[in-house]
Chains A and B, each alone.
Chain A
Amino acid sequence: METALELSGITKRFGSHVAVNNLSLAIPKGSIYGFLGPNGAGKTTTIRMIMSILYPDEGQIQILGHANSEEIKDRLGYLPEEKGLYKKMKTADIVAYFGTLKGLPLREARKRAKELLVQYGLGDWVNRKCEALSKGMGQKVQILSTLIHNPELVILDEPFSGLDPVNVEVMRNLILSMKRDGRTVIFSTHVMEQAEQICDYIFLIHKGNKILDGPLSEIKAGGLHGIQIDYDGDGQVIRDFPGVDRINDAGKSAEVYLKDSANPQDLLQYLCGRLQIRRFDLREPSLHEIFVRAVGGTSDE
């Protein structure tokens, strides 16, 4: 397996605070790789080190076969978490500007900027200023700016934050189409469900330490099973069942983990008459559950 990016034992300290601790990762070419973890876990710091915006205090980064990303900046695409646009610039101009900064000739950058904007439904906005864009459209312009030069490796820091469901869909399709084009995509998120849907590989980080990493399918197939219950009524009833070990209750649906001794059939029988059950489903654990178990925290955070 060819790796696009390899981190070996990188550590980053801000004074006495260790933001990333002895992290090693291998990211296969052509995969969608999710960096997961709660806010402040060290995702952004890791990404900034990959982009050479920060330098690691210890360890090495091998990116597209180079030790220093400065040399191959033009082959990378990066969408930071904190992102903005020049408000007074026209959308086509700003996309083209980022293209030229990545080494595209001006003429080609202009042409591609227009094509991309039209392709992603912003054709009417080509000559409008960025300040006129809605948040979702702005986000689209930003991501097009990161893609205009056809980067081999794309790093997206929290690409879904602040997007409505329609734009989440657009973003997801974009990531999938990048994979189809053979690009490697790394994205970070603190929303586990989003990662579950599209990632080939995930990496879980908590307080600067790696919790686990690997193919999503392997991680999920760890032998643990949960019960997905969709219901109407008072969820407290489920908690009252003596065999319940942990529960992630969202109000209308809950993910329940039983003690080894308990039987799911007993739970179903117990709930009949007490709750209006719409679905009762035995399945693989959610990433949320895996994460919570790995860091040893409480269920409902």
Chain B
Amino acid sequence: MNKTILVALREFVENLSTKTFWIGIFIFPIILVASVVVPTLLEKSKRARTFAVMDHSGWLHDEVMQLAMQRDLNSVLLEAVEAHKNGHPMPSSFPSGVAPFLEKVTHENAHELASAIAFEADTSLIESDAAKLLSDWWRNLSEDQARTYDSWLMAAHYRITDTYGDDVASLNEAIDAETLFAYITIQAEPLDTDPAMTYVCNNFTDESLKHWYGNLVNDVVRRKRVDRYQIDPAIARLLTTPVRMEARKITAEGQEAHVETKDTLHQWVPIAFVYLLWISVFSISQMLLTNTVEEKSNRIIEVLLSSVSPLQLMSGKILGIAATGLTIILSWILFFFFALKALPFMMGMPLSFDLSFIMSDFRYLGSFVAYFMFGYFFYAALLVGMGSVCNSLKEAQNLMTPVILILLVPMFAMVPVGQDPNGTLAKVLSFFPPFTPFIMMNRAAGPPALWEYVATTVLMLVAIAFVFWASAKVFRIGILLTGKPPKMTEVLRWLRAPVGTVPERKRP
């Protein structure tokens, strides 16, 4: 068997039993799952915030609660209709008495129904018994019950208390003791006072309660003002509606079309891939560096060199670790493939939020694998040459610093290039082989012109060949060298020296 393959095979088999390999396999899935699951869990574990309201107006808070009820009922009714249609059961706390009338509820009338129940308006849509059942259900819903619904329900997040009455001193005390999250004071004439309310709370980061309550108050007050000046509600609505701007794009067929979420994602997906590419190229070629230095300090190199040539040894190592790296990457892709099926569901996103285009689009996966190989071979050859002159990992780390600095360039350029994938910066950086894999991946959404793909690939291959040649020369001399690592100028002299000779070392 070819000796290069033998070296590569040993390297690969050996790596399979290292911790680094298995950490590599699992780290990405773990991070991905954690980044989705942990915030969800944290959100779930957050207990409902208790708050108090001192309403000096005498009416505003009651109307706010009615509005809150209307919104909650609206979403829960839609959930119930959906569940009823699909034959799924509703959470057990949902009143079973309303089941027969759910037949009449549709997406169109759910809002009207909810309003009727919340504002106790007369309607033919619902019998008063069922209406009463639902409003009682909403009022008495416990926090734990509320969490069993898919809809966002007030009871799951906020709980109102009247324990403290209107006693400001005991309210303040409760805030201080953290038994009360916040309290809201509504002025006597909220329609004419500014500010109409105060919000007392010592938590300055979680402002969701303030926004939620403020939003409801806004709606109520706005409606009251419209009433007071007898403005036609239709006119009022017109006045308060913001101007919409519709984003459109020109398709490949030259047609105008809506810009969908998918399109925006297309623009940003490459960035995620660049991150992944960067991490994998960096960590896997560093694996090779560590491995070379260890082998050198293990004193096994010379035994190997009596059986294989330095070039065979070097290429064997590079190939062996490439196989290891590809195994890790493929396991990630496989995981990603399955995660994409489950991810939108896990994040509670609608099914229309389809990420599977990432898997089917060759521009992403194809370029990812290709640019991983390019990037890996370039940096692996560079690092294996560097590793060959180091005697300890510490020395190797010192030598790594300039390489890391080079690698930071595509990192910093990531967002600008993502925003303008065919801009000057993107185009220029694509032609620097150390950056090519990252920048071209980054530009995938552009996408770059075919000639750019061809030209940068040719340039990249030339660069890889050059780095291989240079590293092989350095490797041949460096691998048997002990003592202080050589200076850059010395390494340059090695490159010019004929094979097998060792130029003089400069002594300090």
Q: Tell me, yes or no, whether A73 is within 8 Å of chain B by CB.
A: yes
Q: Tell me, yes or no, whether A150 is within 8 Å of chain B by CB.
A: no
Q: Tell me, yes or no, whether A145 is within 8 Å of chain B by CB.
A: yes
Q: Which residues of B contact A17 (CB under 8 A)?
A: 504
Q: Cα distance A153–B1 when bound, in Å?
A: 23
Is there an interface contact between A73 and B505, defined as CB atoms closer than 8 Å? no
CB within 8 A of B504: which of A14, A51, A79? A14
Nearest CB in chain B to that of A101: its residue: B307
CB distance from B496 to the nearest CB of A (A): 14
Q: Tell me, yes or no, whether B96 is within 8 Å of chain A by CB.
A: no
Is there an interface contact between A80 and B306, defined as CB atoms closer than 8 Å? yes
Q: Cα distance A55–B305 when bound, in Å?
A: 13
Is there an interface contact between B500 and A55, defined as CB atoms closer than 8 Å? yes
Q: Tell me, yes or no, whether B480 is within 8 Å of chain A by CB.
A: yes
Q: Interface residues of A, CB < 8 Å — how many? A: 35
Is there an interface contact between A80 and B303, defined as CB atoms closer than 8 Å? yes
Is there an interface contact between B502 and A79, defined as CB atoms closer than 8 Å? no
CB within 8 A of B298: which of A16, A54, A79, A84? A84
Is there an interface contact between A73 and B306, defined as CB atoms closer than 8 Å? yes
Interface members, chain A 131-157 (any B CB < 8 Å): 142, 145-146
Is there an interface contact between B501 and A80, defined as CB atoms closer than 8 Å? no
Q: Cα distance A156–B304 when bound, in Å?
A: 14
- B308-343 interface code vs A (CB 8 A; 1 in, 0 out): 110000000000000000000000000000000000
Q: Cα distance A146–B303 when bound, in Å?
A: 8
A100-B1, A100-B6, A101-B6 given; A82·B504 CB < 8 A = no
Determine, out of A86-94, A230-238, A240-248, A277-285, the stretch whose residues face the partner at the interface: A86-94
Is there an interface contact between A16 and B303, defined as CB atoms closer than 8 Å? no
Q: Which residues of A contact B500 (CB under 8 A)?
A: 54-55
CB within 8 A of A84: which of B6, B10, B17, B299? B299
Is there an interface contact between B14 and A14, defined as CB atoms closer than 8 Å? no
Q: Which residues of A contact B304 (CB under 8 A)?
A: 101
Nearest CB in chain B to that of A74: its residue: B307
Is there an interface contact between B305 and A145, defined as CB atoms closer than 8 Å? no
Q: Tell me, yes or no, whether B97 is within 8 Å of chain A by CB.
A: no
Q: Which residues of A contact B298 (CB under 8 A)?
A: 84-87
Q: Tell me, yes or no, whether A15 is within 8 Å of chain B by CB.
A: yes
Is there an interface contact between A80 and B14, defined as CB atoms closer than 8 Å? no
CB within 8 A of A76: which of B1, B6, B306, B504? B306
CB within 8 A of B302: which of A82, A86, A87, A98? A82
CB within 8 A of A54: which of B6, B14, B502, B504? B502
A53-B305, A89-B14, A101-B307 given; A14·B505 CB < 8 A = yes
Q: Which residues of B contact A183 (CB under 8 A)?
A: none
Nearest CB in chain A to that of B1: its residue: A100
Q: Which residues of A contact B249 (CB under 8 A)?
A: none
Q: Tell me, yes or no, whether A112 is within 8 Å of chain B by CB.
A: no
Q: Which residues of A contact B504 (CB under 8 A)?
A: 14-17
CB distance from A70 to the nearest CB of B (A): 7
A14-B505, A88-B14, A100-B1 given; A53·B303 CB < 8 A = no
A16-B504, A55-B501, A84-B298 given; A78·B1 CB < 8 A = no
Q: Cα distance A82–B481 when bound, in Å?
A: 12
Nearest CB in chain B to that of A81: its residue: B302
CB within 8 A of A85: which of B18, B300, B501? B300
Q: Which residues of B contact A15 (CB under 8 A)?
A: 502-505
Q: Tell me, yes or no, whether B237 is within 8 Å of chain A by CB.
A: no
A15-B503, A70-B309 given; A79·B303 CB < 8 A = yes
Interface members, chain B 449-508 (any A CB < 8 Å): 480, 499-505
Is there an interface contact between B307 and A73, defined as CB atoms closer than 8 Å? yes
A53-B305, A101-B3 given; A83·B300 CB < 8 A = yes
Of listed B6, B299, B302, B307, residue having the most chain A CB within 10 A: B307
Q: Which residues of A contact B307 (CB under 8 A)?
A: 73-74, 98, 101-102
Sample of 16 A–B contacts (CB below 8 Å)? A15-B504, A15-B505, A48-B480, A53-B305, A53-B480, A54-B500, A54-B502, A55-B501, A74-B307, A77-B306, A80-B299, A83-B299, A86-B14, A86-B300, A88-B17, A102-B307
Of all A-B residue pairs in the complex, the 8 with the closest CB atoms, nearest first, are A15-B504, A55-B500, A78-B306, A84-B299, A80-B302, A101-B307, A84-B298, A82-B299
Instruction: Please list the residues of chain A having a beta carbon within 8 angstroms of any beta carbon in chain B.
Output: 14-17, 48, 51, 53-55, 57, 70, 73-74, 76-80, 82-89, 97-98, 100-102, 106, 142, 145-146
